[in-house]
Structure 1
Amino acid sequence: MKYVVLIGDGMADYPLQELNNQTPLQVSHKPHMDEVAHQGINGLIKTIPQGMPPGSDVANLSIMGYNPQKYYTGRGPLEAASMGVDIGNKIAFRCNLITENKGILEDFNAGHISSLEAEILIKTLNKELNTGKFHAGISYRHLFLYDEKISGSFKTTPPHDIVGSPIKDYLIPEDNPPAHTLNNLILDSKKVLENHPVNEERIKQGKKPANMIWLWGQGGKPHMESFKDKYGLKGSTITGVDLIKGLGVYLGLNNINVPGATGYFDTDYKAKGEYGVEALKDHDLLFIHVEAPDEAGHAGDITEKIKAIEQIDAKILGPLLDNLPSYEDFALALLPDHATPIPIKTHTMDPIPCAIYSSLNKGDGVSKYDEFSAKSGSLQLDYAYQLIHKLMSL
């Protein structure tokens, strides 16, 4: 039996006036997604347990078959694992390079700064600031390790949730002693970065400067049983995002590196499809994650979201559907990890559409894959962390 879980990050949305009150999924040309819905069973499921933040970390951990309420400790340690950084007993924070403008968080990704430019800035931060240690990641996504213990309530805010807001309103509440130190670190980073040659050159080129850091998603090292031990399956991941790779490390999955997988609009969809088909030859289960629809949602870009959905359909899902029948039995699940609606430009806790196409089951009469068609399906699944068991029981 072969299993595939295809995750279009942030793919779900709300009806938009610009699309005649339809969602991007409803208007996209996606014959293969519609075929999965037509041949399979459909429904709306929750990827975010009640009371937890609607982040990709929580949602994808859930989709991979682990109850976040039991296993989740924070986003930072997951990204650390993908970078090969053993955090030990330290606290790992996700560290964004952001654009600050007159006290406002203008851009949570600093104009998608290049990894080369970012690495230079991270090295400078380590040289000039003496609190903790920074580790360079990809583009605007980096890591910060903090040596001191953090106890009790400690709230940080994802920067993509507060674009256009005053930074001072979303600093870490200082009811916990380390908060003052970390807030100073955030504010002091501007003194280091704003006149850096990298940013001076970016401004000359009409690009947004990466003139401040933002710390969030903190946590200690999680302890999780391997996917093989939990489900008895040899699994792998294909993604361009450190977060998903980090989950793969902790779960003992094989992270397959695909050339051109960027985690942005320019990701190589065709290569992901080709590597996915190849991975099925010696893996029982494959998670394929595509970040581009989420990036489009954060940017409020309808055109790019539709384009991402159509590229996933044509270049990833199409080849998989062509290949899967060569195996005696198979099951494929199609779903987003969460909604990232264009109107609000951030994640929500809305239930998301899930379609499961199996060689062992007949369809339930749903003919389209979208947020509204799924409501009339027969899939009875409350939470996404039950998905793997569901696939294995078909």
Structure 2
Amino acid sequence: MKKITLVLDGVADRPNAALAGKTPLEYAKTPNLDALYKKSLGGTVLTIPEGLEVGSAVANLSLLGFDPHTYRGRSIIEAAGLHLPMNENDLYIRCNLVAFEGGSFETSRIKSYSAYDIATEIAEPVVRELAEAVFDDEFELVYCGSFRCTLIVKNGKKLYPVDFMPAHDIIGQDIAPFIRMEGNQAKFFELMKKSYDFLQKKDIPANGMWMWGASIMPEIKGDTRGRVALSETLLMDGITTIAGLPNVGTKREGRTFENFLEEKLEKAINAVKEYEDIYVHIQETDDLSHELQPVEKMQAVEAIDRVFLGEFLGNIGNDYTISVASDHFTFSDTGAHGGEPVPFLFYDSHNEREQGGRFTEQDSRNKKHLITAAELKAMQKQAEERR
């Protein structure tokens, strides 16, 4: 029996005026997803345990069946995805190249958390100059592509935890309330200010840097036999690297979403032939939320249904279970994440059900069936045991 999980990153949302007061899932035409939902068990799943960071790292650890409480911050996971040297005594911090608006660092707002997806060929030489001009021997600033950098603080484990607000959660807000100039925090905000002063002189989309995701080495353990992930993000590369889980990547940058989905589809079908437990992760819906593009997010949902889902379901045989879920909410009106329970469906090819509604936030809430991510994973195992 094949056990398949399809995660649409950040697809869960709230009603948006640009979509006539509907969410992207509600507005989108999704005949394949609708047909699957009607034969499935539906409801909501809690992917972010209380007290843990609201974001893709914790949520995907949960949905993969790993213990999300082992999470120790995002940056070191991304560093693992880049195969950077891992040192348990160092502190790792994610740094975004951002576009600020305002007259000074302290009075700025983040206009784009990605400096409008700055091109690697533009950003990389400037980051090399920035590393030389602003960061001393205590730090190593590593460029990771597009707007992403990793700051390694040598022997900085003792500083953990360091509290930063993710850039994508404060788009359009004054950064002043999030600046911490006390204790361990001060040195990092001083570096952000120096980076801001340096980047003002460069004629590129990024005029500042924002740090977040401070982290130390986690332990991600679990049985990975017969399992594979298919993803395209640095974060997922890192989770799978640390866990020892095979990962088949598909690059999104520089191509249409439909072209990307066609390659993803081919790889997913091949993975089903080789592996028993297949975890398919699609990032686009989350990215479009962070860029405040609800219409484009809705169109991405339609493309996933049209290009990927229908063809995939038709090529995986007749002995399988499939879970479909959002990993967390991502609000396309603010760009922020939400940690409330997300929509899910669970389909068993040997135990079809009948239920009304569609795979939407409200229809899933209306089922009044709330489970944990561990319980969703257990459903797959129970279905296998019944065979």
- Same topology, TM > 0.5: yes
Gaps of 5+ in 2: 103-107
Q: Kindly indicate whether the alpha-carbon contact (under 8 Å) linking 1:274 and 1:316 is maintained by their aligned counterparts in 2.
A: no
Counterpart-to-counterpart distance in 2, 1:106 and 1:264: 25
Secondary structure, in 3 states, of the residue corresponding to 1:315? helix
Counterpart selection for 1:183 from 180, 189, 193: 189
Counterpart selection for 1:156 from 164, 179, 187: 164
Deviations 1:295-321 (A, max 9, x none): 221222121111110111122212220
Alignment CA distance shift 1:85-1:390 (3 Å): same
Counterpart-to-counterpart distance in 2, 1:243 and 1:386: 24
Q: Kindly indicate whether the alpha-carbon contact (under 8 Å) linking 1:265 and 1:304 is maintained by their aligned counterparts in 2.
A: no
Note the C-alpha offset of 1:151. 4.0
Gaps of 5+ in 1: 203-208
Q: Kindly indicate whether the alpha-carbon contact (under 8 Å) linking 1:11 and 1:293 is maintained by their aligned counterparts in 2.
A: yes
Where do residues 1-394 of structure 1 align in structure 2 (5 Å cutoff)?
A: 1-69=1-69, 71-88=70-87, 89-102=89-102, 103-128=108-133, 129-130=135-136, 131-147=138-154, 148-151=156-159, 154-171=162-179, 173-177=180-184, 179-196=185-202, 200=203, 202=204, 209-228=205-224, 233-260=225-252, 268-324=260-316, 326=317, 329-377=319-367, 382-394=371-383
Counterpart-to-counterpart distance in 1, 2:120 and 2:45: 36
Counterpart-to-counterpart distance in 2, 1:245 and 1:227: 17
Q: Kindly indicate whether the alpha-carbon contact (under 8 Å) linking 1:110 and 1:140 is maintained by their aligned counterparts in 2.
A: yes
Counterpart-to-counterpart distance in 1, 2:223 and 2:255: 24
Secondary structure, in 3 states, of the residue corresponding to 1:345? coil
Note the C-alpha offset of 1:339. 1.0
Counterpart-to-counterpart distance in 1, 2:161 and 2:17: 40
Q: Kindly indicate whether the alpha-carbon contact (under 8 Å) linking 1:235 and 1:285 is maintained by their aligned counterparts in 2.
A: yes
Q: Kindly indicate whether the alpha-carbon contact (under 8 Å) linking 1:9 and 1:289 is maintained by their aligned counterparts in 2.
A: yes
Secondary structure, in 3 states, of the residue corresponding to 2:98? strand
Give the corresponding residue for 1:206.
Answer: none
Counterpart-to-counterpart distance in 1, 2:255 and 2:279: 15
Alignment CA distance shift 1:6-1:145 (3 Å): same
Alignment CA distance shift 1:339-1:234 (3 Å): same
Alignment CA distance shift 1:115-1:227 (3 Å): farther
CA-based RMSD: 2.1
Alignment CA distance shift 1:90-1:45 (3 Å): same
Q: Kindly indicate whether the alpha-carbon contact (under 8 Å) linking 1:8 and 1:289 is maintained by their aligned counterparts in 2.
A: yes
Counterpart-to-counterpart distance in 2, 1:118 and 1:192: 13
Counterpart-to-counterpart distance in 2, 1:17 and 1:104: 24
Counterpart-to-counterpart distance in 2, 1:283 and 1:97: 38
Secondary structure, in 3 states, of the residue corresponding to 2:221? coil
Note the C-alpha offset of 1:152. 6.2
Q: Kindly indicate whether the alpha-carbon contact (under 8 Å) linking 1:366 and 1:377 is maintained by their aligned counterparts in 2.
A: no
Secondary structure, in 3 states, of the residue corresponding to 1:26? helix
